[in-house]
Chain A
């Protein structure tokens, strides 16, 4: 049996294993993989997601057991230190020796740190491994504890630098990007698109410094305190992330005398063979065409070539041309470039569309005869990237007036035609190398019947995910072409949209989940349709979650938001944010009695965290006895109507915003809707209540109130749109009743008002017609339905604690009064917090 040793268990090293075990012939080989990092290969491309959940496991390419199950010996935390080519062995840093028949080098790259004076100071990081990120998080937390306004810089304004910039911003540090070149993403963008991108990035809070050469890193005591560019040109920062390019980890190649490039990298041919016939190099270590390709897709191709070469399929070779198209991900700004982004005028013409006010830039490069797409750049809106990229890759025909490819869509749809026009060989998922033919055929031949199935069996869109929209299109189009209807159905149990189900339940007067399932569904329901049906019941009949608690989402079921350790939060309603000192004292007493972590929320009320399930009824009994009621912080229902102090106190106030906010909050409290609802009332256009960032916002102006609708914060912030001007209190309420009810009846599940308004054909103008002019002749019914719901309001916590039966669900055990003994809290400032998952897991593992 022959032995293959793979050095490096990164993304490409892993891909080699995956492709290798998929081949029948692999059984005749023994495969041993060495990784220097302490864990099996993980998805470096999505490294930034680690900031969100600090869940290293979620990034794993495959768990350690996968290697064992596939007969691969995985040795992590052990660096390969030397190669002895003459006797075909390697030794590791732990001085163990292994011999090989074939050696595959997949050692990747490390971050390049330029030799700037002071760069070794504490607080300077690179952005490459999970350990780097852990270091940054810990350091940022320390900084912020000392100085909440701490600043951090990223050295390098390329693809990775911008991602790192977003990451430090999300850590709560003031982000600065420092770039040596006069433009951002110099490898992908031209100067004009870079300027547009800069405007866009500045608008989301990134500070950009171009044409800056860093002379030294400042700081006494070994900590970074700033960067110096020139005399008197200094940027004060307390943390720095260096993202100035990559350097191939070619030390093994150099010490063993393999041919390496002048600027690093192990030279390979199109078989991925190095200058030694038994040694291959793949991924970011391989210098192919005198290039290091810093992307996963070419690395994955290289892995495939090396597997085939070793197994004797010598006809598989690396193509000469490698597609370097890229789409920036994660930072909430669309940027993409493909083909030849910068094209010399001699080769063709460029068509450019630029709109700086909307941060939009689109450029395509077309051959001189106008027939071929050669490349392009998209900033601000890259929704057409997949299609343009395909046209480029497959040399497809383009419209006579090529500008149609980038001009904002006119009436009658897009210039692209359908995704089905692509040739079968078109590579749709470049990460996993899946063609259009494979995707469509998997449906045509019956192997798969929906998107999930196709993704499962072809692996398309499982890596970077950039191709997901196109895969979805292809699946839907193929299903359509087979005469199968593609519907926005709720889930496998209901062949209806939410709106359709709403109407069915309403007309048939259905009142329990099982009734609905038996009338128009199949199977036994799931976590998607159960809460949806419950929400429809609530919107139709205003029944509280106490009535059918087993079909409620967990937060509704226990009338409290579940926290990451399985405890709950408690939020009493504090309408308009107004609270008496006496009530504050009551809250203080309850909070300390039950030892609850307490904070003021962004919704201007008080939130208690860390309540154990068993304690919820007792806590709420005390609150209700003191005159409080549920704040519905857990429901898809009205949360708060935030208010400024208004003319009650404020010298600028034009009307009593607090009184009106309290009236509105009390009017709509308990109202269940497709997603949560928030309101705001400001006393003047200074807008201290941020009313225009809410689902409905009311602002006092001379002569009445302006009413805004369809705003939100959250992941895609939207300012609310003006529905009516200078109207009085009664008219505000009348329009609001209609608007909210119309939304509740027609929106998709979990769709906020902003997204709903976006989708509503005709937008705000259409809404004005419906709500103000009654163009659909439904207002009387909408108002009636709202009046019924308001009338049916009952505090559901009061209901829950007054009924011994419903109270039972708050016991942790059915057969004991004990509590969950697995809860662990740690102190935090003068309060407490749950122990972190990772820490908990580690602790549990140490015990073993």
Chain B
């Protein structure tokens, strides 16, 4: 695995040791995403307002190693919330990171929480 990819590891809610305070909720588009910088990581954060849920994943496309996933389109496949990579429309589950329309490696997923109108992403270190 490449160095770029290996920086990203799924973090489960119970493993969180740092809740990184990102930006106010209003900085994020409804039903869209933005990219968050945390140390040397790039995390795509999505405000899936139709579902009233927030998701976060690595911004790095595992296919082409470009930092673009936050610019992709949200959607669902049979109820599973997903993000489509803007480069070649590879889609990934926002719940498990799994590649839904191919056999690429899963992407890393991070927990998000909202507190007093602020967005936090969880990391474990």
Residues of A within 8 A of B (CB): 63, 492, 514, 517, 523-527, 530-531, 549-551, 553-554, 557-558, 562, 564-566, 613, 808-809, 811-816, 818, 820, 822, 837, 840-841, 844-845, 847-848
- Chain B, Cβ-Cβ closest to A552: B73
A527 engages B68 (CB within 8 Å): no
Is B93 an interface position by the 8 A CB rule?
Answer: no
Q: Is the CB of A549 within 8 A of B103?
A: no
Q: Are B34 and A551 in contact, CB atoms less than 8 angstroms apart?
A: no
Chain B 74-85 near chain A by CB (<8 Å), digits 1 or 0: 111111011010
Contact A562 B68 (CB under 8 A): yes
Interface of B is mostly: mixed
Cβ–Cβ contact A812 & B2, under 8 A: no
CB distance from B56 to the nearest CB of A (A): 12
B76 touches A848 (CB 8 A): no
Q: List 21 A-B contacts (CB under 8 A).
A: A492-B77, A523-B78, A524-B48, A526-B76, A526-B77, A531-B73, A550-B30, A550-B73, A554-B72, A562-B86, A566-B67, A814-B27, A814-B36, A815-B22, A815-B37, A818-B37, A822-B4, A822-B60, A822-B65, A841-B2, A844-B2
Residues of the A chain whose Cβ atoms lie less than 8 Å from the Cβ of B87: 562, 564, 566
Q: Which 5 A-B pairs have the closest CB atoms?
A: A526-B75, A554-B86, A550-B32, A844-B2, A527-B84
Contact B29 A844 (CB under 8 A): no
Task: Report if A527-B91 is in contact (Cβ < 8 Å); known contacts: A549-B32, A562-B86.
Answer: yes
Separation in Å of the A527 CB from the closest CB of chain B? 4
CA distance A530 to B3 in the complex (A): 34
- CB <8 Å contact, A814 and B76: no
Asked if A844 contacts B66 (CB within 8 A), the reply is: no
Within 8 A of A (CB), among B1-24: 1-6, 22-23
> Which chain B residues border A814 with CB–CB below 8 Å?
22-23, 27-28, 34-36, 45
Complex contacts, A820 vs chain B, CB 8 Å: 42, 67
Q: Contact check, B84 vs A525: say whether CB atoms are below 8 A apart.
A: no
Q: Which of A558, A812, A841 has the most CB of B within 10 A?
A: A812
Q: Of the candidates A530, A553, A844, A847, which one forms a contact with B65 in the assembled complex, judged by CB atoms under 8 Å apart?
A: A844
CB neighbours (8 Å) of A514 from chain B are: 31, 50
Across the interface, which residues of B come within 8 angstroms of A841, CB to CB? 2, 65
The closest CB in chain B to the CB of A513 belongs to: B31
Given the complex of chains A and B, what is the CA–CA distance between A526 and B82 in angstroms?
8
Contacts of A809 in B (CB 8 A): 29
How far is the CB of A808 from the nearest CB of chain B, in Å? 8
A-chain residues with CB within 8 Å of residue B48 when the two chains form the complex: 524
Q: Does B73 contact A551, Cβ atoms closer than 8 Å? A: yes
Given A820-B42, A848-B6: A837 in contact with B65 (beta carbons within 8 A) = yes
Taking a contact as CB atoms under 8 Å apart, the answer to whether B2 and A813 are in contact is: no
Q: Given that A564-B87, A844-B3 are known contacts, is A557 also in contact with B74, CB under 8 Å in the complex?
A: no
Which A residues are in CB contact (< 8 Å) with B78? 492, 523
Interface size on B, residues (CB 8 A): 46
Question: Is the Cβ of A815 less than 8 Å from the Cβ of B36?
Answer: yes
When distances are taken between beta carbons in the complex, the residues of chain A under 8 Å from B36 are: 813-815
Given A813-B35, A813-B36, A814-B28, A527 and B103 contact (CB-CB distance below 8 Å):
no
Chain A residues near B1 (CB-CB < 8 A): 848
Q: Which residue of A lies closest to B75 (CB)?
A: A526
- Is B113 located at the chain interface by the 8 A CB criterion? no
Nearest to A821 among chain B residues (CB) is B40
| Complex: A562 Cα to B71 Cα, angstroms | 10
Decide: A523 near B76, CB < 8 A? Known: A550-B30, A818-B37, A840-B65. yes
A845 with B2, Cβ < 8 A, contacts A549-B29, A813-B35, A814-B34 known: yes
Contact of A524 among B2, B50, B84, B89 (CB under 8 A): B50
Determine the chain A residues whose CB is within 8 A of the CB of B37 once the complex forms: 813, 815-816, 818
Q: Which residue of B lies closest to A523 (CB)?
A: B76
A848–chain B nearest beta-carbon distance, Å: 5
**Known contacts A524-B50, A813-B36, A845-B2: A837-B64 contact under CB 8 Å:** yes
Q: How long is the Cα–Cα vector from A845 to B42 in the complex, in angstroms?
A: 19
Q: A814-B23, A841-B2 in contact; A554/B73 too (CB < 8 A)?
A: yes
- Provide the residues of chain A in CB contact with B2, threshold 8 Å: 841, 844-845, 847-848
Q: How far is the CA of A475 from the CA of B74 in the complex (A)?
A: 30
B66/A815 in contact, CB under 8 A: no
**Cβ–Cβ < 8 Å partners of A551 in chain B:** 31, 73
Q: How far is the CB of B87 from chain A (nearest CB, A)?
A: 7
Q: How far is the CA of A551 from the CA of B34 in the complex (A)?
A: 14
Q: A553 near B6 (CB under 8 angstroms)?
A: no
The CA-CA distance from A527 to B101 in the complex, in Å, is 12
Contacts of B71 in A (CB 8 A): 554, 557-558, 562, 566, 613
Q: Is the CB of B23 within 8 A of A815?
A: yes
Beta-carbon contact of B73 and A530 below 8 Å: yes
A550 proximity list for chain B (CB < 8 A): 29-32, 73-74
